[in-house]
Amino acid sequence: MQSFEEYLIANLPEAPSFHPIFDEALKAMLIAGGKRFRPRLLLAVVDAYVPLLRESAYPVAMALEMLHTYSLVHDDLPVMDDADLRRGEPTLHKRYDEVTAVLVGDALNTHAFYLIADAPLHNDVKIALVQELAYNGGIGGMVLGQAIDCYFEGEKLTAEQIDFLHEYKTGKLIAASLKMGAIIAGLDDEKQRELFEFGLDLGLLFQIQDDIIDATQSCEAAGKTTGNDEEKNSYINHFGLEGSRERADELAEKLEKRMEAFDEPLRENLNRLLEKYLYRHKKR
């Protein structure tokens, strides 16, 4: 069976025209790699219940990766975080130019929904997947969270507001990845809800860990621009380094306990995927 990584590389988006750099720029951040964490979450759920649908789910998994990658391209722009490095490579506005980076992000975002529409799945399933990704990647999730993050830069939020910000900016897309796997697998509404709520906690853990990485690692070690959160409503800025590590410990332990209640195949798949991530904040 073809791996997801092999599928992704073999199906990179193409924009054939006389434009000298756009097609190359469109593929650059996907080729650069990354954890592929969101598509792997989706596939972990599908594999647990209907492994025969794994390859049919690849276009949806790729759509998740493309939408996430678009968000990184836009996050790195001068008007947002003004970052120089992403996935160990120069950011697109540094490698090419700012207009190209904006348009590549736009293209990755819209092409994600083309991939879902073209996937070999039932139309009712595809409609539900589009709804989930569009809402949690947009005004019901990531984009709203990013808007709050940027608007309140330099202004200290409450702890509850910080959780809201990062639940939307980071957690909602991770939660949607799990729920989209459940939709493909045909799980009932209750199991979809359980996985979505698990994903929200997982997203907050990842955000705290990313804030710790930003405060403690060099750009070279992290593979992206770090030390960029001085004016942000990060967990480090609100709770401090040790307080953030304690909060991450609490979330990791909570997630481990919640996984114990999952069906055995799902629990095994998630354990394999998450074993190197749940306590990555402990690495000094």
Q: Is residue 14 part of a domain?
A: no
Q: What is the pLDDT of residues 92-124, one digit of tens each?
A: 999 999 999 999 999 999 999 999 999 999 999
**Range with top average pLDDT, 101-115, 150-164, 230-244, 267-281:** 101-115
Q: Is residue 216 part of a domain?
A: yes
Q: Give me the sign of the Cα torsion angle 281, 151, 94, 70.
A: positive
Q: Is residue 245 part of a domain?
A: yes
Q: Is residue 7 part of a domain?
A: no
Spatial distance between the Cα atoms of 1 and 234, rounded to a whole number of angstroms: 41
pLDDT of residue 219: 72
Q: Is residue 1 part of a domain?
A: no
pLDDT of residue 115: 98
Average pLDDT, the chain: 94
In 3D space, the residue among 5, 23, 109, 104 whose CA is nearest the CA of residue 66 turns out to be 109
pLDDT of residue 45: 98
Residues 65 and 31: beta-carbon distance below 8 Å? no
Q: What is the pLDDT of residues 229-240, one digit of tens each?
A: 677 899 999 899
Q: For residue 228, name the pLDDT band (cuts at 50, 70, 90).
A: low
Give the domain extent around 81.
Answer: 22-282
CATH number at residue 45: 1.10.600.10
Mean pLDDT within 15-39: 96
Q: Is the pLDDT of residue 220 over 70?
A: no
Mean pLDDT within 219-248: 81
User: What is the secondary structure of 19-50 as a DSSP string?
Assistant: -SSHHHHHHHHHHT----HHHHHHHHHHHHH-
Q: Is residue 8 part of a domain?
A: no
User: How many domains does the chain fold into?
Assistant: 1
Q: Is residue 54 part of a domain?
A: yes
Partners of 90 in beta bridges: 85
Spatial distance between the Cα atoms of 73 and 91, rounded to a whole number of angstroms: 7
Q: Is residue 85 part of a domain?
A: yes
Residues 104 and 118: beta-carbon distance below 8 Å? no
- Residues 6+ away with beta carbon under 8 Å from 238: 156, 157, 159, 162
Whole-model pTM: value is 0.95
Residue 267 identity (one-letter amino acid): R
Residues 45 and 177: beta-carbon distance below 8 Å? no
